[in-house]
Amino acid sequence: MKNKEIPYKIYLDEKDIPKTWYNMRADMKNKPAPLLNPGTLKPMKKEELAAVFCDDLIEQELDNDTAYFPIPEEIQEFYKMYRPSPLVRAYRLEEKLGTPAKIYYKFEGNNTSGSHKLNSAIAQAYYAKKQGLKGVTTETGAGQWGTALSMACAYLGLDLKVYMVKVSYEQKPFRREVMRTYGASVTPSPSTETEVGRKILAAHPGTTGSLGCAISEAVEKAVTSEGYRYVLGSVLNQVLLHQSVIGVEAKTALDKYGIKPDIIIGCAGGGSNLGGLIAPFMGEKLRGEADYRIIAVEPASCPSFTRGVYAYDFCDTGMVCPLAKMYTLGSDFIPAPNHAGGLRYHGMSPVLSQLYHDGYMEAVSVKQTDVFEAAELFARTEGILPAPESSHAIRASIDEALKCKETGEEKTILFGLTGTGYFDMVAYEKYHEGEMEDYIPSDDDIKKTTDKLPKVNL
Amino acid sequence: MKNKEIPYKIYLDEKDIPKTWYNMRADMKNKPAPLLNPGTLKPMKKEELAAVFCDDLIEQELDNDTAYFPIPEEIQEFYKMYRPSPLVRAYRLEEKLGTPAKIYYKFEGNNTSGSHKLNSAIAQAYYAKKQGLKGVTTETGAGQWGTALSMACAYLGLDLKVYMVKVSYEQKPFRREVMRTYGASVTPSPSTETEVGRKILAAHPGTTGSLGCAISEAVEKAVTSEGYRYVLGSVLNQVLLHQSVIGVEAKTALDKYGIKPDIIIGCAGGGSNLGGLIAPFMGEKLRGEADYRIIAVEPASCPSFTRGVYAYDFCDTGMVCPLAKMYTLGSDFIPAPNHAGGLRYHGMSPVLSQLYHDGYMEAVSVKQTDVFEAAELFARTEGILPAPESSHAIRASIDEALKCKETGEEKTILFGLTGTGYFDMVAYEKYHEGEMEDYIPSDDDIKKTTDKLPKVNL
Q: Which chain B residues touch A426 with a CB distance below 8 Å?
A: 174
- Name the residue in chain B with its Cα closest to that of A112: B384
Please indicate whether, in this complex, the C-beta atoms of A423 and B422 are within 8 angstroms of each other.
Answer: yes
Please indicate whether, in this complex, the C-beta atoms of B7 and A420 are within 8 angstroms of each other.
Answer: no
Strands (E), A41-111: 68-70, 87-89, 102-107
What are the pLDDT digits (tens) for B198-237? 999 999 998 888 888 899 999 999 999 999 999 999 999 9
Task: Name the pTM for this structure.
Answer: 0.94
Q: Give the H or E element holding residue A73.
A: helix A73-79
Find the mean pLDDT for residues B71-90. 96
CATH of B20-71+117-230, one of 3.40.50.720, 3.40.50.1970, 3.40.50.1100, 3.30.300.20: 3.40.50.1100
Q: Which chain B residues touch A155 with a CB distance below 8 Å?
A: 380-381, 383
Question: ∠B38-B40-B41 over CA atoms, to 5°?
Answer: 65
Q: Which chain B residues touch A13 with a CB distance below 8 Å?
A: 7
Top-tier CATH class for A9-16+84-114+237-450? alpha beta
The closest of A182, A222, A250, A248 to A57, measured between CA atoms, is A222
d(CA B350, CA B271): 9
Please indicate whether, in this complex, the C-beta atoms of A422 and B425 are within 8 angstroms of each other.
Answer: no
Identify from A385, A428, A430, A435 which residue to disrupt to test chain B contact, counting B C-beta atoms within 10 A and taking the largest count. Answer: A385
Determine which of A177-186, A442-451, B42-51, B164-173 has the lowest per-residue pLDDT on average: B164-173
Give this complex's ipTM: 0.91
Q: Specify whether the CB–CB gap between A407 and A290 falls below 8 A.
A: no
Q: Which chain A residues touch B174 with a CB distance below 8 Å?
A: 422, 425-426
d(CA A276, CA A296): 12
Question: How far does the CA of residue B39 sit from the closest CA of chain A (Å)?
Answer: 40
Please indicate whether, in this complex, the C-beta atoms of A181 and B154 are within 8 angstroms of each other.
Answer: no
- For chain A, the distance separating the N- and C-terminal CA atoms, rounded to the nearest angstrom, is 59
B84 prior amide bond cis, ω within 30: yes
Nearest to A8 among B81, B110, B182 (CB): B81
Please indicate whether, in this complex, the C-beta atoms of B177 and A425 are within 8 angstroms of each other.
Answer: yes
Q: Specify whether the CB–CB gap between B389 and B419 falls below 8 A.
A: yes
Nearest to A425 among B154, B178, B381 (CB): B178
What are the pLDDT digits (tens) for B142-156? 899 999 999 999 999
Q: Which pLDDT belongs to residue A337?
A: 75
Please indicate whether, in this complex, the C-beta atoms of A111 and B376 are within 8 angstroms of each other.
Answer: no
> What's the pLDDT band for B1 if we cut at 50, 70, 90?
low
- For chain B, give every residue range classified as CATH 3.40.50.1100: 9-16+84-114+237-450, 20-71+117-230
Residue-averaged pLDDT of chain A: 95
Question: ∠A176-B82-A100 over CA atoms, to 5°?
Answer: 110
Q: Which chain A residues touch B119 with a CB distance below 8 Å?
A: none
| DSSP-derived 3-state class of residue A144 | helix
Q: Which pLDDT belongs to residue A170?
A: 87
Find the mean pLDDT for residues B29-35. 97
Please indicate whether, in this complex, the C-beta atoms of A82 and B383 are within 8 angstroms of each other.
Answer: yes
Q: Which pLDDT belongs to residue A1?
A: 52
d(CA B211, CA B162): 12
Q: Specify whether the CB–CB gap between A237 and A324 falls below 8 A.
A: no
Residues of chain A with pLDDT under 50: none
Residue-averaged pLDDT of chain B: 95
- Name the residue in chain B with its Cα closest to that of A122: B383
Annotate chain B with three-state secondary structure.
CCCCCCCCEECCCHHHCCCEEECHHHHCCCCCCCCECCCCCCECCHHHHCCCCCHHHHHHHHCCCCCEEECCHHHHHHHCCCCCCCEEECHHHHHHHCCCCEEEEEECCCCCCCECCHHHHHHHHHHHHHCCCCEEEEEECCCHHHHHHHHHHHHHCCEEEEEEEHHHHHHCHHHHHHHHHCCCEEEEECCCCCHHHHHHHHHCCCCCCCHHHHHHHHHHHHHCCCCEEECCCCCCHHHHHHHHHHHHHHHHHHHHCCCCCCEEEEECCCCHHHHHHHHHHHHHHHCCCCCCEEEEEEECCCCHHHHCEEEEEECCCCCCCCEEEEEECCCCCCCCCCCCHHHCCCCCCHHHHHHHHCCCCEEEEECHHHHHHHHHHHHHHHCCCECHHHHHHHHHHHHHHHHHHHHCCCCEEEEEECEECCCCHHHHHHHHCCCCCCCCCCHHHHHHHHCCCCCCCC
- For chain B, the distance separating the N- and C-terminal CA atoms, rounded to the nearest angstrom, is 59
Q: Which pLDDT belongs to residue A209?
A: 86
d(CA A86, CA B86): 12
Please indicate whether, in this complex, the C-beta atoms of A380 and B155 are within 8 angstroms of each other.
Answer: yes
B interface with A, Cβ–Cβ below 8 Å? 7-9, 11, 13-14, 80-82, 92, 110-112, 114, 151, 154-155, 173-174, 177-178, 180-183, 376, 379-385, 420, 422-423, 425-426, 428-429, 432
A interface with B, Cβ–Cβ below 8 Å? 7-9, 11, 13-14, 80-82, 92, 110-112, 114, 151, 154-155, 173-174, 177-178, 180-183, 376, 379-385, 420, 422-423, 425-426, 428-429, 432
Q: Which pLDDT belongs to residue B335?
A: 82
Please indicate whether, in this complex, the C-beta atoms of A177 and B429 are within 8 angstroms of each other.
Answer: yes
d(CA A332, CA A446): 10
Q: Which chain A residues touch B376 with a CB distance below 8 Å?
A: 181
d(CA B417, CA B390): 5
Q: What is the CA radius of gyration of chain A?
A: 21
User: Residue B2: is its pLDDT beyond 80?
Assistant: no
The closest of A64, A90, A372, A107 to A238, measured between CA atoms, is A64
Cα B195 to its chain centre, rounded Å, is 28
